[in-house]
Amino acid sequence: MSIRNQKDFAAGLIYVLAGAGFSLGALEYRLGDPARMGPGFFPFWVGVLLAIVGLLTLAGGVRRTAGVEGVKRLEIGPMAWILGGVVLFGLLLQPLGLVLALTVLVLVSSRASHEFTWRGALINAAALVAFSTAVFIHGINLQIPLWPVALG
């Protein structure tokens, strides 16, 4: 057995490890059954499904008919932009509110792409703000500020 598609093999391995981690972590909680689900039921089965998808992806990487593809070099810069955007969102949500924190998230994260344009990022931010406001503020009445505390 040889690994023909290293990219699929590595992705499958990550899925299997993540799924196993979720499933094993969920065993710390009561699972219950489908009629009376416990707090560990959903994460356990999501982990199992993720591990199954991982096994299928992993198997695709060792198939004889798989295209030969290597794993590319790790891009630290784009990962830092995306992670930085998420961290900023978490730090800015309470003081600035959902609208401004999401805008910062999208603008910072979009710098990770070589196709970055301010116009596209602002359009994406507006769409995400509209969707998130509709779902989280108006739909499920999540108690987070929409605007900075100083304004309201």
Work out the pLDDT band at 152, boundaries 50, 70, 90.
Answer: low
Contacts of 57 (CB under 8 A, 6+ apart): 8, 11, 12, 15
Question: Regarding predicted confidence, which is higher, 8 or 23?
Answer: 23
- Measured between alpha carbons, how far is 125 from 119 in angstroms, rounded to an integer? 10
Summarize pLDDT for 77-132 with one digit per residue, the tens: 999 999 999 999 999 999 999 999 999 999 999 999 888 889 999 999 999 999 99
Q: Where are the domains of the chain?
A: 6-62, 76-151
Return the ∠ at Cα 42 (arms to 39 and 48), rounded to 5°: 130
Sign of CA dihedral 117, 109, 72, 74: positive
- How far is C-alpha 103 from the geometric centre of its chain's CA atoms? 18
Which among 129, 125, 126, 95 is positioned nearest to 109, based on CA atoms?
125
Q: 17-21, 39-43, 58-62, 97-101: lowest mean pLDDT where?
A: 58-62
In Å, what is the CA distance from 139 to each residue of 96, 103, 135, 148, 149? 21, 20, 4, 21, 21
Summarize pLDDT for 43-61 with one digit per residue, the tens: 999 999 999 999 999 888 7
